[in-house]
Structure 1
Amino acid sequence: MTIELRRITADEWDRWHRTLDWAFGGLPQSPEERELWRGLVSLDRCLGAFDGDEVVGTYGELSLGMSVPGGAVVETAGATMVSVAGTHRRRGLLRRMMRRSLEAAWERGDVLSALTAAEASIYGRFGYGVAAHSLAARVPKHRVTLSALPPGTDDVRLTVTTPADALERCEKLYAELVTRRPGALERRPGWERLALLDPPAERHGASELRCVLAERDGELVGYARYALRVEWDRSVPGGPVLVRNLDAVDPAGHAALLRYLLGLDLTDRVELMGRPVDDPLVHLLSDIRVSDLQLRDRLHLRPLDVGAALAARSYATDIDLVLSVSDANCPWNEGRWRLSGGPAGAVCARTADPAALELDVRALSAAYLGGTSLGALAGAGLVGEARPGALAAAAAAFGHPLAPWLPHGF
């Protein structure tokens, strides 16, 4: 029977989502989490692959705003809830869903497509590059201290409350930080609920979430959301402080929050996930060797419109060169593009002029937010220099002072 690919209807959502649940291990999401994502995902962006009445493939999409170098927030299609049933592998279903969705997002005017990958090796063949990594740390509290404290740390006042009671203030602070770091997501209406998602069934022995606020002269300068899981070995307490979010507008606020988390009683470690690779904790902890730092791929990104994407960001130095881009999945991006700009902005348009650099869209995707050097990609054979000096100039221009970071998944 021919497998039909089409948008799903409201009454097909439950069947569609059950297929997704089974693809990710068979355990259904909690009712709270399922309700949240149902409210954020638009049905007109959800594809189903149907073998008769059976749903055998899923693809969801979110409307996102992502910060790029220079502070602009760019329309981004967030691919999510992607799966193919085990009975229907090797039939090209994923490729069909991806290509149809990429084209539809481009026609809508989205500039970028982004996703987080359950398996890191899947999406490179669709032109996605790893544009941002993340850091995980497991800090043993009794072996690690803060080696230095920024000026003003002792002037920060800490109070503990519930995430719900502090939500409005924390979301306002988060919004101030979005344009500082490439890869950050603008929280559009409904997304603030993500900060409160804490279903009891998924705590796995941990406490409910708490929120510690860092204030200076009554102004919020940072916050952290965390839970405790106290584990007793005979009569000796241990267990982790599980940090979900830690955001601060200045070094003193960040250090004060980290010191508080390291000082909580009845626990023996602090576990942080999904942190930026240049997080200040790397320089504050007295011993990173025992803090079990791990680097992971985080944000997979690709331009839907090369010209619009390159023009949307600013550049660290002046740049004027022609890129020859290959893109098998979005053929409208193929060809030569002249990029001219600098710290104040840029323009990018098609040209017939000779190329200075030659690269596949996957390499351009990895370098786009400034987290991966074009020079490093050239060292792997993924960027070719057609004009002497062009690689060094482009690598310098594409850089950014802060590493790109995706603060939360989708």
Structure 2
Amino acid sequence: MTYPIRPISEAEWHAYTNVLSEGFGWQPPPQQLERWRKATEFDRTLAVFDGDLIVATTGIHSFTMTIPGGTLPVAGVTSVAVLASHRRRGLLTSIMLRQLADIRERGEAVAALYASEAAIYGRFGYGEAANELRVRIPKLASAFVRHAPSDPSIRLRVVKPAEVRADLERLFETVSGERPGLYARNGDFWDGVLADEEFDQQGNGPLRCVLAEDSGGVRGYALFRIKSTWGDNGAPDGELRLHELYATDPAARAALWRSVLDRDLVTTTVAAMPVDDPITQWVADSRQLNARWGDELYIRLVEVDRALASRAYSAPVNVVIEVEDQVCPWNARRWRLTADTSGAECKPVEEEPDLTVPVTALGGAYLGGGSLGGQLAAGLLREHTQGTVQSLATAMSWTPKPWAGLVF
């Protein structure tokens, strides 16, 4: 039996979201659905139909994402779901393959997604490209090292987030080009970041904001909520949940971290952050971070040659890569990557390969945070010329480490 696949119309929006509600086990309030609808690019949705019934979905946000050395148009894959009644019929495979073909036709060399289930997307060529730390920092053990940066010209100002939206947008735009994985936010995404209805709060109180600024303007901001609780003995036991903290310089970032860690009536700060966030260096007793590692962003090279030629490299490399890609057969061949710190070129060749690598591994390394050496040690790629993996891994490495920060 065949199931047609096509983009939905706006009239089919509720049928589309019903599949997502079933697939993810939640039902957003009407206001949240409306925000979601406004952010939806209907021409980039796809739905699988069984007669008149939508039974599987996916969609794309058109992003400009930071990659090593610059920015690139990236297809942000989202809203992937299949009705429980239609599992095991190949619908997920069909819709993901159609989507990858559409992405290629649109001219985007890279796709990105957040995985609700980490085991699913490797079979479609997505590699784990960014990780994050999830920390629980107790206030009483959060002292900084003595030489942590400080600047007496910095002033902290408590503000209503919605009232300083323009400042937040400008600050984020200023810093978003520094870290691979961060992507430009349009107005609809900022609506979501600053949304503060009761259902957005989830029992954690209103969205709060602290600005770090000086006479020249805003140098950073922190967005957070506070879950106010009290212990059995009447002592305060509040939990601060940090949503975002961005700054233009280390001193402003340190001042903002101290502001949230020292908040009155709060005993614990909870946050998710890049694996190399400076807070990991500032807390004097690093064990008090109580850090837990987790996967974050996944990357798929839709067109290997254009993707590899579009990013910058940290060191010279000249290598023939045999790419294994059963999903996008146009990638499955040998490519010579020649790159140094001034630019890169990736061309098809018929030469003997220096290494054979699954496309997932290249996706995982693309933003500079992957572990090609670890995959070699695990037997997940094959090195034919000794030293090739180390050379390629060094060239593709990047500082800072990748992180997208805002789930799409």
TM (normalized to structure 1)? 0.96
Corresponding position: 1:48 with 2:55:
no
Q: Structure 1 vs Structure 2: percent identity of aligned residues?
A: 39
Q: Hey, what's the Cα distance between the residues in 1 that align with 2:191 and 2:202?
A: 21
Written as runs of structure 1 = structure 2, the 5 A alignment for 1:7-406 is 7-25=7-25, 27-70=26-69, 72-234=70-232, 235-273=234-272, 275-406=273-404
**1:194 CA drift (Å):** 2.8
What code does the residue aligned with 2:101 have?
E
Spell out, residue by residue over 1:15-51, the C-alpha distance to the aligned partner (whole angstroms, 9 max, x if none).
Answer: 11011111111x3113333222212221111111122
Q: 1:400 deviation in Å? A: 0.8
Q: Which amino acid aligns with 1:232?
A: W
SS at match of 1:403: coil
CA distance in 2, matches of 1:384, 1:188: 42
With structure 2 as the length reference, what TM-score do the two structures score? 0.96
Deviations 1:186-240 (A, max 9, x none): 2235333232122212323222111100013332111000111111234222121
Report the more deviating stretch, 89-98 or 372-381.
372-381
| Change in 2 beyond 3 A, CA 1:407/1:169 | same
Q: Deviation digits for residues 287-327 of structure 1, max 9, x if unmatched? A: 23233211110001111110110011011111111111011
Distance 1:369 1:175, change over 3 A: same
Q: Distance in 2 between matches of 1:239 and 1:135?
A: 21
Name whichever of 134-143 and 30-39 sits farther off: 30-39
Alpha carbons of structure 1 residues 142 and 124: separation in structure 2 relative to 1, 3 Å: same
Q: What stretches of structure 1 move > 4 A for 4+ residues in a row?
A: none
Aligned pair in 2 of structure 1 residues 38, 148: CA closer, same or farther (>3 Å)? Answer: farther
Gaps of 5+ in 2: none
Instruction: Name the CA distance, whole Å, in 2 between partners of 1:355 and 1:347.
Output: 16
Q: Gapped runs of 5+ residues in structure 1?
A: none
Size of the alignment, in residue pairs? 407
Deviation at 1:337, TM superposition (A): 0.9
Contact kept? 2:150, 2:255, Cα under 8 Å: no
Q: d(CA) in 1 for partners of 2:169 and 2:199?
A: 26
Partner AA of 2:179 in structure 1: R
Q: Secondary structure at 1:256's aligned position in 2?
A: helix
Contact 2:204 2:225 (8 Å CA) reproduced:
yes
Q: Which amino acid aligns with 1:29?
A: P
The residue type paired with residue 118 of structure 1 is: S
Aligned residues of 1:371 and 1:399 also touching (Cα < 8 A) = yes
SS of the residue aligned with 2:162?
coil
Residue type matched to 1:239 in 2? Answer: G
* Counterpart residue identity of residue 110, structure 1: E
Q: Could you tell me whether the CA contact under 8 Å between 2:148 and 2:282 is conserved in 1?
A: no
